[in-house]
Chains A and B, each alone.
Chain A
């Protein structure tokens, strides 16, 4: 069970029609690879965020599979041209079954 997991996103509140905006996302997570051993030589079980998605007004726009080689606190930045006012929803899926999500509204016009 990963502790101290907290999603963060940065989406502009407003955009003009046809404008390319930058979206930044970060989730604090230790991303334990499953390759490491503890002091006694036992393997530390894998515990990572394995999937990240972004939806806009219910429609999926980004869907990423994360692998164990991705380091602590995975950060994704991408660009978007937003067609209309609405809401972005970002979702992270944890190995332990936890799902973290957060939403941001954006006004276009």
Chain B
């Protein structure tokens, strides 16, 4: 009896092993414009207790898709960055200010993308870059808010992200942000929808496997905003979250909602150590 059990056990181990070799991301390394080295693989931070190594989603894509991101001219996401460079200088609203009136050049924003979402002392909450942009627009410029996942907003986040490329993601999860982070973690492991799937079911338990025709990544968000070949535009983190939750056949949270902000902080923290890549290119 015991022998049979062991035999079954070893068969299961074999299946598991073939599964694992299939699950490996590829071995390619990423340098943008022959200049910016991107860390696409590193040891998982201690608080991502179920992962040993973290990988950028870039490593799970085909060579052709990967190539898009290696040169800014080939990266269609840079069109959004260019558009945002114009918006950066454009005066809007009753205060007669543009982004550059206070913030100088986009390059002065280097490092921001790596730290957000971040605790905002004044607002007593964790805020995202999108929230900060709209805070500036409403309260400092006297301009209309931008739609949270709209084109102009996502382009602007791509611009702010592009000047931080190569810097390691390093969001703070302690201190006042801890409570939000805990909430995000809980959401990450909660099963939603008719399919009863949590984020972890796909992106932690099953990354590297095929979900129909797609190679499942760890769901890292260091590459956002992401230019997706399937919809030929830059996609924001919350728009992607919404798509994922929808695919579990659940009612989704709204982009910009406290739930998604918490989830974003938690998911970002799982990528602490990977390089900022946005705007990245994925399928």
Q: Which residues of A contact B (CB under 8 A)?
A: 4, 6, 8, 10, 24, 26, 28, 71-73, 75
Closest-CB distance, B10 to chain A (whole angstroms): 49
Please report the total number of B residues contacting A with Cβ < 8 Å.
7
- Docked-complex contact A28 and B79, CB < 8 angstroms: yes
A53, B257: Cα distance in complex, Å: 48
B contact face: mostly helix, strand, loop, or mixed: loop
- Docked-complex contact A73 and B73, CB < 8 angstroms: no
A-B contact pairs, 11 of them (CB 8 A): A4-B83, A6-B79, A10-B73, A24-B73, A26-B73, A26-B76, A26-B79, A28-B79, A71-B232, A73-B232, A75-B74
- Report if B26 contacts A (CB, 8 A): no
- Docked-complex contact B232 and A72, CB < 8 angstroms: yes
- Docked-complex contact A73 and B79, CB < 8 angstroms: yes
- Docked-complex contact A6 and B82, CB < 8 angstroms: yes
In the complex, residue of chain B having the shortest beta-carbon distance to the beta carbon of A8: B73
Contacts of A8 in B (CB 8 A): 73
In the complex, residue of chain B having the shortest beta-carbon distance to the beta carbon of A9: B73
Known contacts A24-B74, A72-B232; 12 further A-B pairs (Cβ under 8 A): A4-B83, A6-B79, A6-B82, A10-B73, A24-B73, A26-B73, A26-B76, A26-B79, A71-B232, A73-B76, A73-B79, A75-B74
In the complex, residue of chain B having the shortest beta-carbon distance to the beta carbon of A73: B76
A7, B106: Cα distance in complex, Å: 23
Contacts of B74 in A (CB 8 A): 24, 75
